[in-house]
Amino acid sequence: MRLCRHGFRKELITNAAATPKSYKITKAKEVELKEAYEKAGKDFADADNRLDWLKERYAAQGIDFSQFKSAMERHTDSATVFQGIGLQRRYVNLIVAIEKKDGQSLIDYMTGGKGTAESKLTFDKGSIGSLSDLLGSATLNKVAGMKGGFGHDDGYYKEKLSYGRGETECFANLTDLYGDANPVFGQIVEIFTPRMAKLFKEIVNGMD
């Protein structure tokens, strides 16, 4: 899994504007993301039928919105506590995070952000924690992982004899995410880490 992980680590970090703040690419990405979230929010607010807008936007990424909504209701605190426009806007931000492959914002919008009560309740449910840890282990906590509130700390990957820990964590998290009855988590994995997803499937299918 090492070559596969290294093949997209830089992309995950860049897409989340997680490169050093002094980098021009970081500043450009921050502007790009801000504009994308703002535009989507405006387009959603102006839509004649907001539910159809969400369905179409998710479908464009190969995701059934009803399945995504079901996954969030089962695995997050926000989808069962929030109602109305507040929850709908959360779904708007989530699809933008998926479109832009912005892993940090994806986890933050799923959980409410690191250190919040909502975050703890969400991570206690399971699969969002696995998704956060997958992104964290793939990027050594540059995106999500402990930066998002759930995963292994930096020392875990830096300790002696830690060679391969990132790969091991990736494989374990992929097993959990693909094992979920709802296909949404596997679809998200394939959007964010297509090469890793492909290799994982090849390994698992080879075990049959």
Q: List pLDDT tens digits, range 95-107.
A: 999 999 999 999 9
Take residue 77 and report the two structure tokens written for it.
């605190």
pLDDT band, very low/low/confident/very high, at 121 (cuts 50, 70, 90): confident
The alpha carbons of the chain give a radius of gyration, in whole angstroms, of: 17
Q: What is the DSSP letter of 142?
A: S
Q: Chain-wide mean pLDDT for the chain?
A: 87
- Asked if residue 86 lies in contact with residue 77, where contact means CB atoms within 8 angstroms, the answer is no
On the question of pLDDT at 22 being above 80, the answer is no
Which of the pair, 81 or 196, is modelled with greater confidence?
196
State the number of CA atoms in the 13 A half-sphere of 141 facing the CB: 13
Alpha-carbon distance of 178 to 171, in angstroms, equals 11
Which of the pair, 23 or 60, is modelled with greater confidence?
60
In the chain, domain spans? 2-205
pLDDT at 4: 55
Angle of helix 194-205 relative to helix 2-15, nearest 10 degrees, comes to: 150
Q: What is the DSSP letter of 116?
A: -
pLDDT band, very low/low/confident/very high, at 189 (cuts 50, 70, 90): very high
pLDDT band, very low/low/confident/very high, at 7 (cuts 50, 70, 90): low
On the question of pLDDT at 27 being above 80, the answer is yes
Take residue 13 and report the two structure tokens written for it.
């970090």
Alpha-carbon distance of 19 to 125, in angstroms, equals 30
Report residue 27: phi and psi, to 5°.
-65, -40
Is the full-model pTM beyond 0.85?
A: yes
On the question of pLDDT at 2 being above 70, the answer is no
Residues 6+ apart with CB under 8 A from 194: 8
DSSP per-residue letters across 55-114: HHHHHTTT--HHHHHHHHHHH-SHHHH--HHHHHHHHHHHHHHHHTT-HHHHHHHHHSST
Beta carbons within 10 angstroms of residue 65's beta carbon: 19
Q: What is the pLDDT of residues 149-186, one digit of tens each?
A: 788 888 887 765 456 777 888 889 999 999 999 999 99
